[in-house]
Structure 1
Amino acid sequence: MSTHDTLAELLSEHGRSYADEAGITLRDNPSPLYQLLVLAVLCSTRIKADIATDAARELFRTRLRTARTMAATDWQTIVDALGRAHYRRYDESTATALLEGAELILRRWRGDLRRLRDEADGSPERMRELLQEVPRIGPVGSGIFCREAQGLWPELRPFFDDRALEAASELGLPSTAKGLARLVPPDELPRLASALVRSGLKH
């Protein structure tokens, strides 16, 4: 199969970003950026990605879409929303992490992750370090955020984590971030990265 055909099949079968699945319409605004961070927190535990995205949608349906509304919500409301999405093993600790994270984001960046971006001053490495100051966000969670946000923030491009690169190699696609970036337009990079991760999870 040619590279073109492999890419077309990959995107057709798996080419939905996790942000889109969680109901996040990504824009360079505080609310959707915060929602993406919430998704990254939820995906940072040992839990299936579809349960994490369901939990994100449930939180957003509960109107917890900004750091301010999250910080003003009582802990039990968050636990209940996570439970409705069957995010049960980690519901209590995750509710605590979300509350503490919202308070940090309000205190440090006034609820706007674009200020985190400004603090990183164009450095993807510094951005990941700052993201990891948020409770529950480690290398995996910061990678999820950057993978999805690269469509908005050019300094993150191209971003493919090890899991995506491994899947690309197995499919016979370029196994470097720069090589993969040549296959699609910049705004399609989050879809390609997510498709590779989803493909890797199937094997």
Structure 2
Amino acid sequence: MGGEEGLGDLISGIRSYAEELGLDLSRPEDRFMWFLASMLFAKRISNEIAKRTYRRFVEEGLTSPEAIISAGWDRLVEVLDSGGYVRYDFSTASNLLGAMSKLVSEYGDLERLHEASADPRDLERRLMEFRGIGPVGVNIFLRELRGIWRKADPEPSRIALEVARRLGLQDIKQNESALVRIGLEYCRKRRCGRCLFDGYCRKLEIQR
């Protein structure tokens, strides 16, 4: 397999992290769960730990802002630890409580936050006002919502841009989720021999 068509077929076969978690982002309740997952993925921690910890939240019924607030700090730390999220358990529990409290008190829910935003940059600014959410978390959250939320249009992440350069791919935004997975799971780990895209790659250096 070769050429742009072959490359496109390979990229289209890569699931996003949201898809791997079983989320249907056309549903508001799943958009909230992706918001929660994005906060977990944004820390400097392995994706496997973030996914495992997210699933622990689901198992414990912590699937709404109100449920997370009601759980309280001690319970959140327990759930985070049970998923292996021990390095950032205290700070993440505090961040989650702060973010959920702000969401409920100032907007009610994520859909109203989106409606209140004037444009994509205003949406990003509002999200970064939440405790524990910075540019990385905003990109993780919003890149999956392109085409779903009208104002979800973040600038592509550095890792997506670098992988696109390696592959000679022009349509970065549409393929950003796949590009990020390639970068995190193959390029940064130098697993070129296992990468399906090795035949397309220009082997440029990916910065950490």
Short-chain TM bin: 0.7 to 0.9
Measure how far apart 1:41 and its partner are. Answer: 1.0
- Deviations for 1:92-150, whole angstroms, at most 9, x for unmatched residues? 1101111111111010111x1111111113x1111111111111100000011111111
RMSD value, Cα = 1.7
- Deviations for 1:55-101, whole angstroms, at most 9, x for unmatched residues? 11211221111111111112222112111211110011101111111
Q: Higher Cα Rg: structure 1 or 2?
A: 2
Measure how far apart 1:157 and its partner are. Answer: 4.5
Give the aligned residue type for 1:37.
Answer: F
- The alignment covers a number of residue pairs equal to 185
- Deviations for 1:145-199, whole angstroms, at most 9, x for unmatched residues? 111111411333486322212111101211xxxx346xxxxxxx4xx32210011
The residue number in structure 2 matching 1:10 is 11
The residue number in structure 2 matching 1:45 is 43
User: In the aligned structure 2, how far is the partner of 1:117 from the partner of 1:158?
Assistant: 14
1:23-38 to 2 correspondences below 5 Å: 23-29=22-28, 31-38=29-36
By relative contact order (CA 8 Å, sep 6+), the higher-ranking structure is: 1
Cα 1:108–1:128 change in 2 (3 A) is same
Give the aligned residue type for 1:73.
Answer: A
User: In the aligned structure 1, how far is the partner of 2:23 from the partner of 2:76?
Assistant: 18
The residue number in structure 2 matching 1:195 is 178
User: In the aligned structure 1, how far is the partner of 2:172 from the partner of 2:44?
Assistant: 28
Cα 1:57–1:118 change in 2 (3 A) is same
Q: Give the unaligned 5+ runs of structure 1.
A: 182-188
Cα 1:157–1:134 change in 2 (3 A) is closer
1:38-117 to 2 correspondences below 5 Å: 38-110=36-108, 112-117=109-114
Q: Give the unaligned 5+ runs of structure 2.
A: 188-208
Question: Hey, which of these two has a bigger chunk of helix by percent?
Answer: 1
Q: Percent identity, please.
A: 32
Give the aligned residue type for 1:20.
Answer: E
